[in-house]
């Protein structure tokens, strides 16, 4: 049986909310989904980390022309942007399809994935995050959030 999680990450990879903001977001999820506090984990990493969707991964697309990116090319870009000492650097890349500038974080991932230093991870309650809850969480955290559904 697979494990399912929902990860909420700031749209800006370097953004880290304060402890009060993190606690407010945890309390919102706890109240809305009736979860135990131990089922909701705020994590802050020293460096930018790639937050994948696990078995949900399907494809990577250009944010400009929507062309699907070859996985080997995407993996090479990921390798170039990563070091054991510094994690990922979010620098400008050129898309192979239309030669426009973007970043690894701004590529269109099916299912959503992204990069961050902060993540709020919770067990999947079995239903979608409502627009209202997402707005409330973004207000509590102080940043636009990206929702990642992980399955392992």
Mean pLDDT by 10 residues, the chain (152 residues): 91 98 96 90 97 97 98 96 95 95 97 98 89 97 97 93
Instruction: Work out the end-to-end distance of the chain between its first and last CA atoms, rounded to an integer number of angstroms.
Output: 9
Tell me the Ramachandran region of residue 48: left when phi exceeds 0, alpha when psi lies from -120 to 50, beta otherwise.
beta
Q: What is the pLDDT of residue 40?
A: 94
In 3D space, the residue among 39, 54, 49 whose CA is nearest the CA of residue 16 turns out to be 49
Per-residue confidence (pLDDT) for residue 62, from 0 to 100: 98
Query: What's the rounded Cα separation, in Å, for the pair 31 and 55?
Result: 29
Instruction: State residue 35 phi and psi, 5-degree precision.
Output: -100, 155
Report residue 95 CA to chain centroid gap.
Answer: 21
Domains along the sequence of the chain with CATH:
1-53+113-152 (3.30.70), 58-110 (no CATH)
pTM: 0.93
pLDDT value of position 126: 84
* CA–CA distance, 122 with 136 (Å, rounded to integer): 16
State the DSSP H helix or E strand holding residue 150, giving kind and residue range, or none if neither: strand 145-151
């Amino acid at each position: 049986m697979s494990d399912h999680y929902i990860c909420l990450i700031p749209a800006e990879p370097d953004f880290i909310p304060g402890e009060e903001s993190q606690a407010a977001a945890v309390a919102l999820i706890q109240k809305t989904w009736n979860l135990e506090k131990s089922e909701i984990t705020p994590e802050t990493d020293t460096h930018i980390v790639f937050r994948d969707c696990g078995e949900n991964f399907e494809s990577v697309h250009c944010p400009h022309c929507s062309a699907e990116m070859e996985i080997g090319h995407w993996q090479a870009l990921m390798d170039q942007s990563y070091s054991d000492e510094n994690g990922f650097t979010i620098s400008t890349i050129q898309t192979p399809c239309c030669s426009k500038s973007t970043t690894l974080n701004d590529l269109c991932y099916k299912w959503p994935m992204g990069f961050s230093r902060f993540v709020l991870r919770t067990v999947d309650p079995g239903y979608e995050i409502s627009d209202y809850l997402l707005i409330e969480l973004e207000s509590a955290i102080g940043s636009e959030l990206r929702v990642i559904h992980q399955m392992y």
